[in-house]
Structures are given as C-alpha cells and as structure tokens.
Structure 1
C-alpha cells in the first residue's frame, strides 16, 4: 500500500493521512515506554545519531559522550560525525556498564555530558543497570540516552517489561521495531522525554512549510526528521498494532524469550557445549566444549557456507562465542535440538 500510494512525508499536502497516522503512532509508542513523543527513523543508527544531535543542541553546541565498552558502534561513530569530543568509554565487565566506573567518570569529567546506556546489547542481549545509571545521571547533572533498539520491545510484555525499569527516566530512547516488533526495515524511532526537544530539528522551506500554512494549522513535517523525502514507514507499524495490539506483540515477545531460555537449557545440559550465561532477552551465546576460537569461527563459517544454519558471533571475556538470536515465535523445540546437532557435527574433534 505504501509503495502503490507513494506518499512522501516531507509536507502535509503530499501525505495528510500518513502524517496524522505518524503523529498518533509515535506518541502512543513513546507513552508505552514512559516518554512523551517520538520521531520515525531508519533504525537504531539514525536514532542514536539524532540523540547525540539533540544532546549537543540542548547543551549549547557541544557535549561529551560517556558510554560503556558494550555500547553499539553507532554511538562513537555519531560523536565523530557530529564533531564532538572523543567519547569516554567506561568498562563493562560481564557485558554491562559498571555503575562504579561510571560514577568515577562523571565525578571527574567536565560538563556537559551525555551518558548512553544499553537495553539489549548487540553481543549478548544484556541490559545495563538502568535505575542505577539514571540515578547517577541525575546526581551529576548528566543527560541520559538509552539505546533500546533490541530490548525496547520488552515494553510490550507484561512479563518482561520490568527489565526496562528506569527507561522512563531517560531524556531519549532508541527503539527499533524490526527486532522485537517484527517489522520489515526500516522501523526505527527516537523517543524523547519532552516534545519541545524535537524543535531543534525544525527547518524552513517555503514550498514545504510556508509560515502562513503553519499558522493556518497545517502540520509542519520538516521538524519530524532530518530527511526530506521519506516513506510512510509508520503504516506497517500501525497495521501491526491494530492487528495484534500490545497484548499480541507481548505474547510474541514472551514466546521468543521462552525459546531462548529453552535453548540455553539444552546447551547447559549438553556435555559437549558451554553456555555463556542465562539469556536476558532472546540471545544465547554458546560454544563447543574445548574448542579453540579458530574452531568456533570455522564452525560458524562452514554452517553458513553450506546453508545449514546462520549463527552470529560475539567476543566476550576474551573468547569467541556462537550467537543464536531467537526472533521467530514459530521455532520448534526439535529445531533448537537440531541446531545443536549441526554445530556438534561440524566441530573438529
């Protein structure tokens, strides 16, 4: 429908229905995580870039990023793109940001500062201690951004949303519904605590947002994105929400989280495998017992080359792990068992 109608969300006259739908859906999703408004983005990378841009403007033209060693690569890259100072990287032992190290950094660094925490790390799907981090930011006068591109979908689940406690205290939050929202890309959002913060994105082009049109009540869409021509990506999100609702999406979240726990149990009980840790969301890290890092890398490549299984990789605690991120609610227990057999059969003996 979006391709056939081909509306462009750079001015209201080109996409009146899409503009109204976007305003409704973005506010609703922001309210779901305790914030006030959101803008649609192409994904987590653009959302993180916008978060740093908003922080820079709110701080008077410069801000220093403080993030964990577990942070997504797009955050330090965004600091580079925006001409900000070199980020301060805080240790993340066991895969999550260390509050004590963060406290020490915030105590000694000059202001203004932006702390970036993570809810759902790329490597292991871990969640930083958000309440402690939010408290430290408040005490030290630092701005807080949470990259919840992966973990933000837990907010749909009554069973798992408590893992995001503290998210509502952030100034901005990255969401990406092509993960735990089951949307085709692009389906990113940046949510903010105060709608006025989005005002810095405003841009004037008379043929798109003439002052008299805006005064007459026509929505000004040039402040809703850094892009001009853009697809109505909100349509697919709206259709999913209308069809499944928060309860339906929450049930899917519960299913994949349960699958991850089941798969982790299979790994733990198998003498031929080592489990990294119990999964926080739906990512399971494991490796064959006694295998070298070269063995692990080779197993992954062989399964991929043969078309038998697609596994990710993650390096934690100085070792290489195979990564299974479960996002298909229809995955069966026998398929999880088969995956272990495939890995076992490919591992050098």
Structure 2
C-alpha cells in the first residue's frame, strides 16, 4: 500500500532558509509583499478617514469600566483572520472611542492636530524601520536628524558648537538636562568621568537646581531618578504673570549658599504647562552668568516661537541657554513622538557616551563615524526626525509658525469673550494659548462648592463627549483650563464650548445668582 508524504506545515518548515511562503504568511515587509503593503496601508488610511467622518464628538464618553469587558473577552491567540476584520475590530475597540485632537472642541491638554506631511512620513519611517543609534543602521537618516538639530539650534541663537538628539519627549529631554548639569558640575570639581566610574560624590546631596513654581514635574522626577532627590529642586516664586520672579531667584540662590548648599543650575520655562507663561530669559541668563550656573530652558511648549512670524521676539535671551528642550509634537504640529534635546556645547554630550565593541567602538568614533548613540540615553531610536523633515520640505517653517500664531490669536480672542461673561473667573491673560479659569456663579459661593461645581462641569463634558477641556489646581483650588493648539478652530466654536461650561454650571449649581463680573472687571484693569 502506497503512503503519501504529508506536506510540511509552515511551522514544520520554520528552519528552512529563504522560504518565500513563510515570508508571505507572516506578511514580512519586502519586495515580494509590496502589493500587500500598499493595500493594507490604503485600508488603514480608509479606516482612519471613515472614523474622522463619523466623529461628531471629541470623544464617545465611554468610561474605563464600560470598555474594559470588550478587551477581557479577546483571545489574542485567535486573530480575526485578515486586515478588514482586524480593522473592524479596531474600530469597535479604539477608533469609535478615541479622543480626537483635530476636533474643534478639543481644548484640553498640549495635544495638537498633526500636519499631513508628518503623517505621510510615518508611513515611510515605519516601513524602512531605521534605527538612529548607529550609522550602519540608518545612513542618511542620521544626517537628516543632525541637520534638523543644527537648524533648531540656529533658530534658537545657539553657537555653531551646539549639538543634540531627538528624544521621546520633554520628560526625556529634561532628564538629559538634569543629568548633564549634574555631571558637568562633578566633572569640574572632581575630574571628567568621576560620576561614571565611582558614582556620586558625597556633596551631591547638597546640589540645588532652581525652577519656577510653575515648572514641569519632570524636573523633580529627574532629580529623584538621578540620585539628587526632590529636595534638590528649589521652587522659585512667580510674579503676577506666572513668570519666574528674578529677584526671588537671586534671593533663593543666596539663601541656598548660606545654608551650605551648592547651586548648580537654573531651569527657565518658555511656556509653562498650566499658564503658557514665558520666563524672562535675558535677566535669568544674566543671573546664571554672574553666578556661574547652568541655564536650561524648557521650551517643550513654547518652541513654536522659533518659527512664529508674529511673536518670535519673545524668545529673546534664549541664546544664553546651555541646554534646551523642544517638543515638536506640541507647537510644531507633529505626531507623537517628535522632540529634541540640544546643548550649546556639543562636547557636553560626551558625558552620556559609552562605547560598546559590537555597536559603537572607540575606533569608529575616532574615525568620525556619526553614531547618534554616542549622544543619547536611548540605543534603539526611531527616525522621528523624518516627520519634521518632510513638514519643512513641503509646507515650510513659515506655515508651521503661522499655525502656532493662529492658536495664540484664538486664545486671546477667547479670553476677550470670556471676560464679558460674569460667571467665569479668569486667572490670567494668555501669553501663549492656554486659559485657566473657573465657573463662579456668585461671589459668595464657597471655595468647596466652587471645587465641586467645576469638577462636575468637566466630568459632564467628558461624559457627553461634547467637548474636552482640562483641569488643574491653583492654590489648592480646582480650576478649568483651555489649551488651544488648533488654528482651524474658530472663535464661534470656542463660544460654543464656553456656553456648554455655563450650561453645565447652571445645571449643577443650587440657588446661585451671577456675581463675578466685578472679579473680571478688576482683573481687566489690573491683570
């Protein structure tokens, strides 16, 4: 009796070399699957386009406890079967419930609508999948990143010796800043490489970094991660415009020295998260020069001023910075992630260099091979620079700056219409594109009741999906916040959000009568 030889399965042939059937079944991206690549990219793009057309609201309002059961029921070992089925599942699980930053009623966090060329760049960089740690994994991609770093540094007025790397975001950039300011001080006091070889000296517990009270939390987090502790970060009082008070900075530094502590750096903020306030870089830089302190500028939000047409003068003093954080995925309208850390003296990046024989040997560096891993905390690193590159090479820097200017103009116009409403209490006039305020139906409403009312307004907006706004605390009290980065949003659309705030405020208030007009009138005169 003749027996047939069974056809080996894909798993049986897993040890085969160059088996095209394995490549086709696994859908590897290569020259044999280009038609499949085009088809699936088009299907995914169509799914996104359909989702945006369906999205009448910013968000579906779904709660975590309502969506979680859909994920619990999933078996990841049993796929839907093909791309259309997988995309339909994705629609139900994600696209129908996503928070849409392009929506005109999204006014919450520092999330921007993205530019089309940057989305197209994602298609390219994900497919080629370069890693920008070494030249032999990236080639021309390395030069694109370096060119953009040099361009940004020049826009900031930094010297030709400036250098940097793209990062995952402002938190990583600020971590690098604290690392370099710490190690640069240790190198001066104890010799280069002291920290890398022997760890922190005993004096490290007395190092102090001065930041404004409105600075980003990532600075304290970085100090803790780097062994300096939260107490190393000293908060400096702000003036009435929520900018670092320079006189208070000088007093804080003097007091620190009197206590036997060691000031090493100041962090100025070009666009605070809550208020968008811009620290006065000229006088702060002068203090740093006189005191021999490192000046880091956190411009994660305000970096759009580098390309602004109307407001570029507001970066005066940035050229004094020793290091700089920029988030292109905020005010340059790029997809997450797309950020950078830059130092005025590129040689300082040598403090994070470590040579591995299998990756970036010393002889490669000696030969001038441009390995970005020598400057970075990351090893594997996405080619995120391509997004900004294609943006600048298509729409250009002026168009990006005009979009940021439009967001600033929108915030100012929204502020004016809110000042005319007696039940809204504003804390500041926007310097960039954020507005902090609260619903206040009556001057005599208690602080506890105001906290309850404003929390209820935000929760109801999120649940209904009609609009998305942010919340914060100022002086321990609850406030609401608009963060505006969409130049396509109109003042009338912002009026609709304001009307919703008032409507939900009325619905949640008990026995309140209007009465905060005097507050806003006084602020208009003196704010």
TM-score range, shorter chain: over 0.9
* Superposition deviation, residue 93 in structure 1: 4.4
Summarize deviations over 1:279-336 as a string: whole Å, max 9, x none. 0001112222336121111101110111111111122255322111111111022211
TM-score (norm: length of structure 2): 0.64
Instruction: Give the SS at the match of 2:147.
Output: helix
2:306 alignment partner, SS class: helix
| Equivalent of 1:97 in 228, 236, 244 | 244
- The answer to whether the 8 A contact 1:186-1:233 is kept is yes
Shift of 1:27: 1.0
Residue of structure 2 equivalent to 1:302:
460
Alpha-carbon separation, structure 2, partners of 1:218 and 1:137 = 35
Shift in Å, 1:75? 0.2
RMSD between superposed Cα atoms in Å: 1.6
Partner of 1:10: 133
Judge conservation of contact 1:123–1:315 (CA < 8 Å) in 2: no
Aligned match of 1:50: 176
Match of 1:269 in 2: 420
* Cα distance between partner residues in 1 of 2:480 and 2:317: 30
- SS of the residue aligned with 1:287? strand
- Residue range with higher mean Cα deviation, 300-309 or 313-322: 313-322
Structure 2 Cα separation of the partners of residues 262 and 112 of structure 1: 41
Q: 1:19 aligns with which of 133, 138, 142?
A: 142
Offset of residue 274 of structure 1: 2.1
Aligned length: 349
Residue 192 of structure 1: how far off its partner (Å): 1.1
Query: Does 1:106 find its partner at 2:253?
Result: yes
Q: Is the 8 A contact 1:40 1:224 kept in 2?
A: no
| CA displacement at 1:112 relative to structure 2 | 4.3
- Is 1:195 the equivalent of 2:346? yes
Q: Distance in 2 between matches of 1:318 and 1:234?
A: 40
Structure 2 counterpart SS, 1:59: helix
Native 8 Å contact 1:69 1:89 kept in 2: yes
2:211 matches 1:67 = yes
Q: Which range moves more in the overlay, 169-178 or 214-223?
A: 214-223
How far does residue 129 in structure 1 lie from its aligned partner after superposition?
2.1
Aligned partner of 1:79 among 190, 208, 223: 223
Aligned to 1:230, the other structure's residue is in SS state coil
Give the drift of 1:136: 1.3
Deviates more, 1:322-331 or 1:280-289: 280-289
What corresponds to 1:319 in structure 2? 477
SS of equivalent to 1:204: coil
Deviation of 1:189 after TM superposition, in Å, equals 0.9
Partner of 2:438: 287
Q: CA deviation at 1:14?
A: 1.0
Mapped partners of 1:317, 1:181: distance in 2: 32
Q: Give the distance between the partners of 1:213 and 1:139, measured in 2 at CA.
A: 40
TM-score (norm. length: structure 1): 0.95
Q: Name which of 243, 263, 268 aligns with 1:117.
A: 268
Find the aligned partners of 1:140 and 1:173 in 2 and give their Cα distance. Answer: 19
C-alpha distance in 1 between matches for 2:303 and 2:211: 18
Are residues 1:233 and 2:387 paired? no
Name which of 277, 285, 295 aligns with 1:126. Answer: 277
